[in-house]
């Protein structure tokens, strides 16, 4: 290989690494509108903000965590949801995430489920840290969110790798009301949504990072899912329930993303006479 070819290769590699590093920090806010006749009148225009896979630790430290909290709060959440893997430092993430999480704001409630990294780093620390930060941890259960005497429900199930997800247990309280199901690993939806058909109006998950390093956004060579590309990122429908799988916020192994930008999602609820076929969205 000639010297010119070697220089060209080195420049290309450095350029790709630089782009991937920058992309890992370019968090986009994706706005969705959820139209459903089951949305109570009091929740018209209510905002649900969803973050997942923050992975606080060596790759996302105190400064970026503070910036993330500030950005989430600026979106004016009525309900704030955390989809798990809040920490990812195998020991250092808890010291960064849980103190900062106390500053998350939501007018009607803050809810979370655990991810595999949260359990690996310390399940008891996760429970204590989330509780101290004002989050209700959902473990195969649903909790009401009330406004002016009306309510919606947020359900949450265990992580598929480290727990025993049971959406049926969570659905017992939520049946008949507008309900959101929160999971860490979207693979759980393959069985849990058919088992609770009709109970959930929206299902949210993360875990896959959108592939993190993809082939220009079209394919993720490494996706931590037994279903391959099926739950890599974006919208799907399972047993009649719309599913959104987020790219998440943080990274694992290396602070790099390639055509899998980190995401925060904002869902605006609207009461409709007839449910839309699929939620609309826009990015910012």
The model's pLDDT over 124-145, given as tens digits with 9 standing for 90+, comes to 999 999 999 999 999 999 999 9
Number of folded domains that form the chain? 1
Taking 90 as the threshold, does the pLDDT of residue 23 lie above it? yes
Taking 60 as the threshold, does the pLDDT of residue 275 lie above it? no
Percent of the chain with pLDDT over 70: 95
| Overall average pLDDT of the 189-207 stretch | 97
| Overall average pLDDT of the 48-52 stretch | 98
> Which is higher by pLDDT, 216 or 180?
180
Q: Could you tell me whether strands 263-271 and 47-51 are parallel, antiparallel, or unpaired per DSSP bridges?
A: antiparallel
Minimum mean pLDDT range among 1-5, 32-36, 107-111, 211-215: 1-5
Taking 90 as the threshold, does the pLDDT of residue 276 lie above it? no
- Return the pLDDT at 6: 78
pLDDT band (50, 70, 90) for residue 7: confident
- Return the pLDDT at 281: 67
Cα R_g (the chain), whole angstroms? 19
Taking 90 as the threshold, does the pLDDT of residue 91 lie above it? no
- Return the pLDDT at 1: 65
User: Distance between CA 266 and CA 250 in Å, rounded?
Assistant: 18
CATH of the domain at 198: 3.60.21.10
The token pair at 79 is 């309900």
- Three-state secondary-structure class, residue 223: coil
Strand arrangement of the beta sheet that strand 79-82 belongs to: 136-137, 109-112, 79-82, 47-51, 263-271, 28-36, 280-283
User: Distance between CA 5 and CA 11 in Å, rounded?
Assistant: 10
The token pair at 176 is 């008949």
Tens digit of pLDDT for each residue in 145-175?
999 999 999 999 999 999 999 999 999 988 7
11: Cβ contacts below 8 Å, ≥ 6 apart = none
**Which residue carries 């992580």 as its tokens?**
159
User: Distance between CA 204 and CA 62 in Å, rounded?
Assistant: 26
- Return the pLDDT at 89: 65
Which candidate, 122, 139, 77, places its Cα nearest to that of 104?
77
CA dihedral (178, 182, 186, 192) positive or negative = negative
- Return the pLDDT at 128: 97
Minimum mean pLDDT range among 114-118, 137-141, 163-167, 269-273: 269-273
The residue range of the domain holding 234 is 3-283
Burial (CB count <10 Å: 0-12, 13-18, 19+), residue 2: exposed
């Amino acid at each position: 290989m000639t010297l010119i070819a070697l220089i060209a290769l080195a420049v290309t590699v450095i350029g790709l690494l630089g782009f991937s590093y920058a992309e890992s920090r370019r968090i986009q806010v994706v706005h969705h509108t959820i139209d459903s006749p089951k949305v109570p009148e009091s929740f018209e225009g209510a905002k649900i903000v969803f973050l997942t896979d923050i992975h606080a630790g060596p790759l996302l430290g105190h400064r970026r965590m503070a910036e993330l909290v500030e950005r989430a709060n600026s979106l004016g959440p009525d309900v704030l949801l955390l989809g798990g893997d809040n920490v990812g430092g195998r020991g250092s993430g808890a010291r960064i995430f849980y103190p900062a999480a106390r500053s998350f704001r939501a007018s009607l409630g803050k809810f979370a489920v655990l991810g595999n990294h949260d359990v690996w780093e310390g399940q008891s620390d996760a429970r204590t840290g989330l509780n101290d930060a004002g989050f209700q941890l959902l473990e195969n259960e649903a909790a009401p969110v009330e406004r002016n005497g009306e309510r919606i429900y947020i359900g949450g199930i265990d992580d598929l790798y480290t727990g025993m997800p049971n959406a049926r247990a969570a659905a017992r309280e939520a049946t008949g009301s507008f309900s959101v199901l929160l999971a860490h690993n979207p693979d759980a939806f393959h069985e849990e949504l058919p088992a609770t058909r009709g109970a959930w109006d929206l299902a949210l998950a993360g875990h896959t990072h959108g592939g993190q390093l993809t082939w220009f956004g079209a394919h993720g060579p490494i996706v931590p899912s037994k279903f391959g590309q099926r739950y890599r990122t974006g919208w799907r429908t399972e047993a009649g329930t719309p599913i959104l799988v987020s790219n998440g916020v943080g990274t694992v192994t290396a602070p790099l993303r390639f055509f899998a930008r980190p995401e925060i999602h904002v869902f605006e609820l609207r009461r409709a006479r007839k449910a839309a076929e699929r939620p609309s969205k826009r990015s910012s």
